[in-house]
Amino acid sequence: HLGVALYLLPLALQPYISTNRSDIPGIIGGGKSLAALFIGDPLGAARLFAVPVPTAIYWVSGLFSLLASGSENAVWVLFAWFSALGAFYFLKAFKRLLPDQSLGWYAAAVFFFPSLVLWSSLPSKDAITFWGIGLLTFGVSMFWRERSWSGLLKIAVAEAVIFSVRRYFAVFCCLPL
């Protein structure tokens, strides 16, 4: 539980991160503008033109903004939750591939390693990429163990998500497959 709670750490650092990381206010603002298109706010939709062409990160932020009813703090929590879900996919893949091994050190690395916890849970491309890599790893483990079509579907969805956010990273993720 403590490991999952650490994914919410960036929320405590929000005032500092929002002013000193240039892409986060744009991502949240672009997401709010996209959400305004769906709730019929013409002034909010007009702000969308101040944002560069909406990419996948703006669409995800817009979806999270809709789910959070426009609350910026809730958007931060949703990004952190999305990232923690990626960590759970990593754990499920590990357990599927090595069922006789203990999750202890691996779980500690996934939930307590500062680079994974802090950077992947910010409202940015990192949270989406981390979730995609976790899903990709879980899909590969499913396909490896069971030769299941659902494993291939998870691989395809993960690659599409990663490609929509970071194209070069999706290519690197395909190479080992």
pLDDT for position 14? 60
Q: Report d(CA 120, CA 89) in Å as an integer.
A: 14
| E-only strand ranges, 66-160 | none
pLDDT for position 126? 83
**Segment 126-152, tens digit of pLDDT:** 888 889 989 999 999 999 888 888 888
| Cβ–Cβ under 8 Å, residues 134 and 89 | yes
Q: Report d(CA 132, CA 124) in Å as an integer.
A: 13
Query: Average model confidence (pLDDT) for the chain?
Result: 75
Predicted TM-score (pTM) of the model is: 0.74
**Segment 78-113, tens digit of pLDDT:** 888 888 888 889 888 888 888 887 878 777 777 777
Question: 142-164 burial by CB neighbour count: b if 16+ within 10 A, else e?
Answer: bbeeeeeeebeebbeebbebbbb
